[in-house]
Amino acid sequence: MRRAAPVGTIVIFGATGDLTRRKLLPALFHLDVQGLLPPAVAIVGASRGGLDDEAFRGLAREAVARFGRHPPAGPSWDRFAARLRYAAVNLTGGGGLAPLVRLLGALARGGPSGRLFYAAIPPAAFAELVRALGEAGLAPGSRIVLEKPFGRDLASARELNAVVHEVFDESQVFRIDHYMGKETVQNILALRFSNGLFEPIWNRRYLDHVQVTVAEEIGIEGRGDFYEQTGCLRDMVQTHLLQVLTFVAMEPPLSFDPDRLRDEKVRVLRAAHVCHPSRAVFGQYEGYRAEEGVAPDSQVETFVALELEIENWRWAGVPFYLRTGKRLARRASEVTLVFREVPYNVFREVGVEALPCDHLTIRIQPDEGVTLAINAKRPGAGFELGRATMDFDYERAFPTELLDAYELLLLEAMEGDHTLFLREDAVERAWEILSPLLEAPPPVRPYPPGSWGPPEADELIAPRRWHLHGAGRAASGARRPDQPRAAEAPGGPLGTASGTG
């Protein structure tokens, strides 16, 4: 096993790209402002663009000003700018990585020699980059961060893993999924394994079903070429949603040693059935085909809903419903665990024909927190029931500035902590679960922007219905299946609501 030295240099391949400008440079600047970036660490941008150090600093300043949380000014910016260097590289032409090799050699003389390579480049170029790093002799003592999606399917993921392992040991590889860096995703583990209240009821005996929703208001944001090659299934489900599912469904690890935690995540994926196309719905928002870079007859999905089964002692018979899409009604990411109906309704004699099921909702973004929705007696004479919520809000409970997901994951990679990164067997099993949908995808159904996707998604989950915390009525006043009935709104009376929502 090749041991990585303490990181002295972070090298970002794709230094002029969108990911670097929107996420990586602002994240690194914020870490520096917070005093979390070691003083000796240098940051090198590497790309084919004809920049120099000062031009790269100008690019970084513009990126931080536009996308960062702190203004690029004063001593904090001067300190950060002094870290920034630039190297012109060309993976396919003459010169290769020679300028970078020279720069890294010079930087290593004044501090730690360890390197963290960040591949902020198209996934199709990962293999080429890895081989170039190997040929340049830069792999020993280094770590490499690879963005998602890792491969396009099971075969390509295995092929890429083989290429990576020709150059890097698995201990040097950090496959990133930025959702794993979100505080509320990690809080799923704290909620389950540090509270005696929840873990005993986190199983098939008490839960009717589980939902994972990642809804986006935005469209493809000018990334037509990328999305035509990727689609929603590869972009979101194979990575974000399946990884969140593993945190919800995993068994308690023996410890929080990175590999013990990742062992349990892989066991969940191995227990999950592969997804049959009959249990999935693909959608495409109206207007997608008019986007730049999109084929006029495109069949690429911008929405996916599917049902998964996990066949083990904890989850047998409990369906997991996953839903994600572009141009939906609002931005929200959450996990909802819906509890079973009470075994006997003693309130029928006072006119309550059906009791809404309790549900626990973990809000990942934008309003991070946890909500438990229950039935309670309304004040006053008689015995009228209403819907009540018990709410935990991160911002109110912990009034400190949260680290952004990329900030946390960059720190973890620098420290060599794999806990929140994906292991090769987890990536390959995730592709295996979705292989039937890649080989024989269901038909793509149109849906209007601002809706909750095609109506077939509602049919998939019926007689249950989709839940979204805080969802209100549609403008027309009609209730959609993803919205609570008026009788189920917080504080409202209970009437004939479904018992499985």
The DSSP element (H or E) to which 173 belongs, if any, is strand 173-175
| Range list of β-strands (E), 319-475 | 320-325, 332-339, 359-365, 369-377, 385-393, 444-447
Using only the alpha carbons of the chain, give its radius of gyration.
24
What's the CATH class of domain 194-248+274-404+429-488? alpha beta
Say yes or no to pLDDT of 4 above 60: no
44 vs 56: CA distance, rounded Å: 9
Please check whether residue 248 is in contact with residue 191, taking contact to mean a CB–CB distance below 8 angstroms.
no
Say yes or no to pLDDT of 3 above 70: no
Please check whether residue 121 is in contact with residue 17, taking contact to mean a CB–CB distance below 8 angstroms.
yes
DSSP 8-state symbol, 295: -
Catalytic residues: 240
Residues 6+ apart with CB under 8 A from 96: 89, 90, 132, 135, 136
Say yes or no to pLDDT of 499 above 60: no
- Domains of the chain by residue range: 7-147, 194-248+274-404+429-488
Point out the least confidently predicted range of 19-33, 153-167, 482-496.
482-496
Mean pLDDT for the stretch of residues 357-385: 86
Say yes or no to pLDDT of 7 above 50: yes
Around Cβ 167, how many Cβ atoms within 10 Å? 22
User: What pLDDT is recorded for position 154?
Assistant: 95
Q: What is the pLDDT of residues 312-339, one digit of tens each?
A: 999 999 999 999 999 999 999 999 999 9
Say yes or no to pLDDT of 155 above 80: yes
Q: In 168-204, which ranges are continuous DSSP H helix?
A: 183-193
Q: What is the pLDDT of residues 408-430, one digit of tens each?
A: 999 999 999 998 899 999 999 99
Say yes or no to pLDDT of 486 above 70: no
User: What pLDDT is recorded for position 377?
Assistant: 82
Around Cβ 110, how many Cβ atoms within 10 Å? 9
Q: Which fold has domain 7-147?
A: Rossmann fold (3.40.50)
241 vs 244: CA distance, rounded Å: 5
Strand order in the sheet with 114-119: 84-88, 42-47, 7-13, 114-119, 142-146, 173-175
398 vs 104: CA distance, rounded Å: 41
Its pTM stands at: 0.87
User: What pLDDT is recorded for position 113?
Assistant: 67
